[in-house]
Structure 1
Amino acid sequence: MNKDATFSATLSLTLVLSVLTPVSPYRLLTCCNTDNLTATSQFYHNLQILLESLPSNTSLANGYFHDHIGDGNDRVYGQALCRGDVNRKDCMKCLENATQQLMNMCKRYEDSITWFDLCQIRYSSRNFTSMMEYAGKYPPQNSLRKSVKNPNKFGEKWIYLMDTLSAEAAFKNSKAMFAAGEIRVSEKETIYGLVQCTRDIPPNQCKTCLDSALGDLKTCCSKREGGTVISANCNVRFELSLFHNASNPQLTWSVSKAERKWKKWIIVVACILSALAILIGLGVVYVRRKKRSRKDEVRSQSALLHHAASPTRNVKTNSFALGKYVID
């Protein structure tokens, strides 16, 4: 069983949805329960210290920080991540809200994670850092998105955008593991996309996580005007309205693989048909010339035979006449 399945199977999930401040409205809160704790346990005490330290430490560490406090069974591991396009102030504010949410709703659980638009926080009694775990979650807003009018064209473009951003976040911007951009669908529509990984995993695992998230995003939102998939180690999102602050240049739409294959086949078929037409034309010319040549040859032979036959008959006639004359 893989890590994702183990993580999902051994933990019972409690989804808690509510409305917080406009600065950081959260999308999904998951409390993963293993054993209930008492408010006086050493683990809870260590958890409180860790969560209180994460907002400031993360904002000072360029938006990502992980730490642990305590020893043995009382040790607690924590990790915080701010979206790559937010400033320190908004990062810290979001994490403070997220921390408060965890303390209010998940403080008696040994493993919890919460996602906000601008940040996420996770803690656990086990060491989860540097280990990619994927179990994609769908925020409820996904089901509220409107359907697009031209899903095929729209889908091709947002998938192209998100695939490009995923490769950029994992390999070209591996320190931040974040990428955002946009692509024009029409004069009135532009798709905005964003992808991000936690910085404790290597680039190849980041790409694997993002690919899994994009697979889930295609399943839920390929025909919708937007969508989000969140997980412990990576998040992906696209919208028709600008939702990020990154100053990435607009991507230029390139011909899709399907279009390239179709155009390639058109060229191949056209070349084959042209070649066949030329061969057929040459064949017709050859046959006609051969027929004409045979007719000319037959006529020529007939003429020669006729020309050759006439003197012979005359000679024979004369010879016979001469012979007859001589005999007589």
Structure 2
Amino acid sequence: MGSSISMLFFINLAIIILNLVAPTISQDDGICTFTADYCWKCSDTGTYTAGDKYQENLNSLLSSFSSSTQNNSGFYSSSRGQDSNKVNAIALCRGDLSQDSCQACLNISTDILLQNCSTQKEAIIWAERCMVRYSYSLIFGIKQEDPLKHVPGPNSAKNPQQFELVLTPLLGILRDRAASGDSLKKFAAGHAPVPGGETIYALAQCTPDIDKQNCSSCLKQSVTEIQTCCGGKQGGRVLKPSCNLRYEVSLFFRSTADKLVDIPAPAPAAPALKEAKKKSNTKQTVIIVVVVLVVFVIIFSSICFFFRVKKRRVKLEQDENSEDVSLVESLQYDFETVRSATDDFSDANKLGQGGFGAVYKGRLANGTYIAVKRLSKNSEQGDREFKTEVTLVAQLQHRNLVRLLGFCLKAGERILIYEYVPNTSLNHFIFDPIDQAHLDWETRYKIIGGIARGLLYLHEDS
């Protein structure tokens, strides 16, 4: 038991330390086609039955998006139905698409989504040129970053360090431009050259129903995830319900949306800044060393405290065990003494037969009458468990409980010795036609009170 407690203690301590130092990592989700032209996620939060009102509303709503001719912004949001059959849906086309290209993408994406999520009440699909999403919950004007999908490109950059120095600020600039869009479109695209011959083309986009702050926050987190999922790659995508990022080394959007993005060269660090950075690094090193030492001291102190408490507990248990052994020895009767007291368990001394064995009347050499219960031999209880149980029962002392005087163990024999009750069992008086006349209602009331006091003692004081 002690080793288990110590193991749990150190596991919990390790988990706490890991939680303090481990960064938060977003969980990649969803399924993509082989070439990642389409990625989707079917939520398991609820299902509908084929042919029911929810499906009818869903099909009607999504069909209206792909057939609408009144929207030139590429963003659609609407609801259909009531109560549990209400469907909320959003569709977003890439900001550079024409209306015809947008509707074509929505039409194909809707078909793929409904085929793969045929009974789910909530799902999303990301195509290269559009996104379709529906849910039974409210989704309008709410920043949603889950589920998400990371799609890294297959090829590595020629110079990952130089590539990263251009990619990160490029995505940061496009993030700010997209977040500054209006309620119809939040989209920005552009390119920047990388020293060495590569050119990065990138875009950032949010659903225009969320505000500037939420759009910027969603894209900022996505830029961080680009570094995690696609670092060193020539291309990558981060796909979320409320925003998406993409970059490649070739043009993947319409040239009319492309703009050269000027990436400021990193300014050389001034001597004062270098000295400040050096001091900052020294300060960080000192803090890290101090934290590590403090954690080490805490762990070491905890170990010492644990083993000290364990040693004291073992000593107490040994003392308790020695007391228990003494008590057990004082309660144990010799088998020959019990057999002699019951006249070798003769039928003449037999008082009754229960489910756990026969009960005999006996008389010890000092003239004391005892009741001997000879337990059946088919019990699976071990000798040690039997002794422990006898020790506990023998300590129960109450005037309304028959007292256990001791026990006997020998060659498969398990015997309990109780004080002898000359008036026999209560059921003899209750059910015997003649003797039940001795029990008037006042006597029965006293008997009930005694039984209740015995039970109360067992429950609260034993």
TM-score by length of 1: 0.70
The residue number in structure 1 matching 2:209 is 200
Amino acid of the structure 2 residue aligned with 1:194: L
Contact 2:57–2:85 (Cα < 8 Å) also in 1:
yes
After superposition, what is the alpha-carbon deviation per residue over 1:207-263, rounded to whole angstroms, capped at 9, x for unaligned? 00000111111111121111100000000011111111143321122123xxx2x43
CA distance in structure 1 between the aligned counterparts of 2:137 and 2:47, rounded to whole angstroms: 15
Contact 2:200–2:247 (Cα < 8 Å) also in 1:
yes
Amino acid of the structure 1 residue aligned with 2:246: R
After superposition, what is the alpha-carbon deviation per residue over 1:133-163, rounded to whole angstroms, capped at 9, x for unaligned? 11363345x1x52222322221010111100
The residue number in structure 2 matching 1:147 is 156
SS of residue paired to 2:79: strand
Deviation at 1:128, TM superposition (A): 0.8
CA distance in structure 1 between the aligned counterparts of 2:47 and 2:181, rounded to whole angstroms: 43
Contact 1:161–1:183 (Cα < 8 Å) also in 2:
yes
CA distance in structure 1 between the aligned counterparts of 2:37 and 2:120, rounded to whole angstroms: 19
Task: Pick from 118, 134, 138 the counterpart of residue 127 of structure 1.
Answer: 138
For 1:245-284, list aligned pairs within 5 A: 245=254, 246-256=256-266, 260=267, 262-265=268-271
CA distance in structure 1 between the aligned counterparts of 2:179 and 2:131, rounded to whole angstroms: 19
CA distance in structure 2 between the aligned counterparts of 1:15 and 1:145, rounded to whole angstroms: 19
Q: Return closer, same or farther for 1:267/1:199 CA change in 2, 3 Å cut-off.
A: closer
For 1:295-306, list aligned pairs within 5 A: none
For 1:205-216, list aligned pairs within 5 A: 205-216=214-225
SS of residue paired to 2:120: coil
1:103 to 2:145 alignment:
no
After superposition, what is the alpha-carbon deviation per residue over 1:12-58, rounded to whole angstroms, capped at 9, x for unaligned? x98443369xxxx7331111122222112111111111111111238
Q: Return closer, same or farther for 1:46/1:247 CA change in 2, 3 Å cut-off.
A: closer
Contact 2:46–2:122 (Cα < 8 Å) also in 1:
no
CA distance in structure 2 between the aligned counterparts of 1:148 and 1:57, rounded to whole angstroms: 41
Contact 1:63–1:91 (Cα < 8 Å) also in 2:
yes
The residue number in structure 2 matching 1:29 is 40
The residue number in structure 2 matching 1:17 is 32
Deviation at 1:59, TM superposition (A): 7.1
CA distance in structure 2 between the aligned counterparts of 1:134 and 1:145, rounded to whole angstroms: 25
SS of residue paired to 2:265: coil
The residue number in structure 1 matching 2:249 is 240
Q: Return closer, same or farther for 1:67/1:113 CA change in 2, 3 Å cut-off.
A: same
The residue number in structure 2 matching 1:116 is 127
Amino acid of the structure 1 residue aligned with 2:83: G
Amino acid of the structure 2 residue aligned with 1:255: A
The residue number in structure 2 matching 1:45 is 56
Q: Return closer, same or farther for 1:230/1:111 CA change in 2, 3 Å cut-off.
A: same
CA distance in structure 1 between the aligned counterparts of 2:271 and 2:96, rounded to whole angstroms: 43
Amino acid of the structure 1 residue aligned with 2:158: K
Question: 5+ residue gaps in structure 1?
Answer: 1-7, 270-328
The residue number in structure 2 matching 1:161 is 170
The residue number in structure 1 matching 2:360 is none
TM-score by length of 2: 0.50
CA distance in structure 2 between the aligned counterparts of 1:36 and 1:172, rounded to whole angstroms: 36
CA distance in structure 2 between the aligned counterparts of 1:181 and 1:59, rounded to whole angstroms: 28
Question: 5+ residue gaps in structure 2?
Answer: 1-25, 276-462
The residue number in structure 1 matching 2:390 is none
CA distance in structure 2 between the aligned counterparts of 1:46 and 1:243, rounded to whole angstroms: 35
Amino acid of the structure 1 residue aligned with 2:116: M
Q: Return closer, same or farther for 1:222/1:63 CA change in 2, 3 Å cut-off.
A: same
The residue number in structure 2 matching 1:280 is none
Structure scoring higher RCO (CA < 8 A, sep ≥ 6) equals: 1
CA distance in structure 2 between the aligned counterparts of 1:58 and 1:113, rounded to whole angstroms: 23
CA distance in structure 2 between the aligned counterparts of 1:82 and 1:58, rounded to whole angstroms: 14
- The CA RMSD over aligned residues, in Å, is 2.5
Contact 1:136–1:213 (Cα < 8 Å) also in 2:
no
Contact 2:189–2:259 (Cα < 8 Å) also in 1:
no
CA distance in structure 1 between the aligned counterparts of 2:147 and 2:51, rounded to whole angstroms: 33
Deviation at 1:266, TM superposition (A): 7.8
Contact 2:184–2:208 (Cα < 8 Å) also in 1:
yes
1:81 to 2:92 alignment:
yes
Q: Return closer, same or farther for 1:194/1:104 CA change in 2, 3 Å cut-off.
A: same
Q: Return closer, same or farther for 1:136/1:263 CA change in 2, 3 Å cut-off.
A: farther
Q: Give the count of matched residue pairs.
A: 249
Contact 1:59–1:92 (Cα < 8 Å) also in 2:
no
Alignment identity in percent? 30
CA distance in structure 1 between the aligned counterparts of 2:29 and 2:150, rounded to whole angstroms: 14
Contact 2:30–2:149 (Cα < 8 Å) also in 1:
no
The residue number in structure 1 matching 2:300 is none
Contact 2:236–2:246 (Cα < 8 Å) also in 1:
yes
Amino acid of the structure 2 residue aligned with 1:193: A
The residue number in structure 1 matching 2:358 is none
The residue number in structure 1 matching 2:226 is 217
CA distance in structure 2 between the aligned counterparts of 1:65 and 1:211, rounded to whole angstroms: 24
CA distance in structure 2 between the aligned counterparts of 1:167 and 1:121, rounded to whole angstroms: 24
